[in-house]
């Protein structure tokens, strides 16, 4: 089994309810076990800032699914929650975004899948929830999740609830 870490985000509709429901879906993926889920966080939009704040979270999964198959499951889950991916629309609003952030300590560079996620080490909104579920996980080429957070601005990322 491999430790896989997934980042969740949404900023359309009831984003909090969507993320909670998506975590429940991830918990029952085939050949996969949910190890931990982070709290939800409110985060200002990144990249394209002219949109609603995002709600973000992360989960740690233990899986026997190969990374490309896990990605297929994540994309199917996004569609289940109304996500329509549009060519050329990067950093736009979305009903649900699921990113495979880490897959063990593997480096995967395929046209449809890059692991670790290429911007993970630069994104506090992904690292902060990830640190709750896998602080000691290795981001190949960048140290641990905890190390990547050192010195990063996180004051604009607000936890929601407990």
Annotated catalytic, 123? Answer: no
Strand partners, 128: none
Q: Which of 94, 123, 146, 156 is catalytic?
A: 94
- Active-site annotation holds for 99: yes
User: Catalytic residue among 97, 136, 146, 147, which?
Assistant: 97
* Core vs surface per residue 19-32: b (16+ CB within 10 A) or e: beebbebbeebeeb
| Active-site residue identified among 20, 39, 42, 83 | 83
Whether 83 is catalytic: yes
Clarify whether 97 is annotated catalytic: yes
Q: Which of 99, 123, 136, 147 is catalytic?
A: 99
Structure tokens at 126: 């992904």
Report the distance separating Cα 61 and Cα 151, nearest Å.
27
- Are the CB atoms for 133 and 35 separated by under 8 Å? yes
Question: Which amino acids are annotated catalytic?
Answer: 83, 94, 97, 99
């Amino acid at each position: 089994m491999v430790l896989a870490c997934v980042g969740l985000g949404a900023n359309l509709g009831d984003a909090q309810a969507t993320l909670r429901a998506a975590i429940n879906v991830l918990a029952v993926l085939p050949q996969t076990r949910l190890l931990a889920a982070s709290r939800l966080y409110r985060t200002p939009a990144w990249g394209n800032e002219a949109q609603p704040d995002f709600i973000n979270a992360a989960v740690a999964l233990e899986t026997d699914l190969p990374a490309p198959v896990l990605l297929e499951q994540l994309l199917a889950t996004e569609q289940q929650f109304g996500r329509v991916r549009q060519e050329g629309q990067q950093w736009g609003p979305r009903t649900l975004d699921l990113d495979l952030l880490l897959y063990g300590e593997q480096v995967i560079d395929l046209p449809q899948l890059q692991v670790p996620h290429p911007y993970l080490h630069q994104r506090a909104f992904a690292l902060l929830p990830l640190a709750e579920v896998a602080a000691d996980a290795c981001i190949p080429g960048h140290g641990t999740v905890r190390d990547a957070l050192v010195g990063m601005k996180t004051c604009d990322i607000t936890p929601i609830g407990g």
